[in-house]
């Protein structure tokens, strides 16, 4: 049975193994156990028979702006609506009602467009660029698509 729930410290190794599949493909930034432990409250996971099969996180950047990040679905479970359910659940259950806009940097433009996200100029997100993107190896040649959802 599949369950979407808040991530726990006991999920860290499974989340790291899941995202590593996409890190090796250059689709996600890597995380350490320490980084993940600091961000664990930002994550939702989907588990199937006690195994984490998908994850997503929401990071707040300012009073009204947040980012969906680290969305990963085990390849064996892709195409079943799990990613969509995680993103919608994350938006719906966000404890911070002051968030007015949620953005994402992605390679999956159509996936997020179906959820109501609109394409924007990446440079319109200075909070992201100066806090995370400056450390990315692709910073000067970013090929991700910036999208935003107004709530």
* 69-90 pLDDT per residue, tens: 999 999 999 999 999 999 999 9
Residues sharing a CB contact under 8 Å with residue 100, sequence separation 6 or more, in sequence order: 64, 65, 150, 151
pLDDT of residue 27: 87
pLDDT of residue 124: 82
What percentage of the chain carries pLDDT values higher than 90?
Answer: 65
3 state DSSP class of 95: coil
**Burial group, residue 115, by CB count within 10 angstroms (0-12, 13-18, 19+):** middle
pTM: 0.89
Q: What is the CATH number of the domain that holds 102?
A: 3.40.630.30
Number of structural domains (the chain) is 1
Contact predicate 40/9, CB 8 Å: yes
Instruction: Give the burial string for 41-62 (b: 16+ CB within 10 Å, else e).
Output: ebbbbbbeeeebbbbbbbbbbe
- The residue range of the domain holding 146 is 2-150
């Amino acid at each position: 049975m599949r369950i979407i729930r808040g991530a726990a410290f006991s999920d860290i190794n499974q989340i790291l193994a899941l995202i590593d599949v996409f890190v090796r493909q250059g689709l996600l930034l890597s995380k350490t156990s320490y980084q993940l432990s600091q961000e664990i409250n930002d994550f939702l996971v989907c588990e199937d028979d006690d195994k984490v099969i998908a994850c997503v996180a929401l990071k707040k950047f300012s009073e009204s702006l947040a980012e969906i990040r680290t969305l990963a679905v085990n390849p064996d479970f892709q195409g079943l609506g799990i990613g969509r359910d995680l993103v919608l659940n994350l938006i719906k259950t966000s404890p911070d009602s002051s968030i007015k806009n949620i953005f994402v940097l992605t390679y999956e433009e159509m996936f997020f467009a179906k959820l109501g996200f609109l394409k924007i100029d990446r440079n319109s997100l200075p909070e992201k660029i100066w806090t995370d993107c400056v450390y990315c190896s692709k910073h000067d040649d970013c090929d991700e698509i910036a999208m935003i959802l107004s709530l």
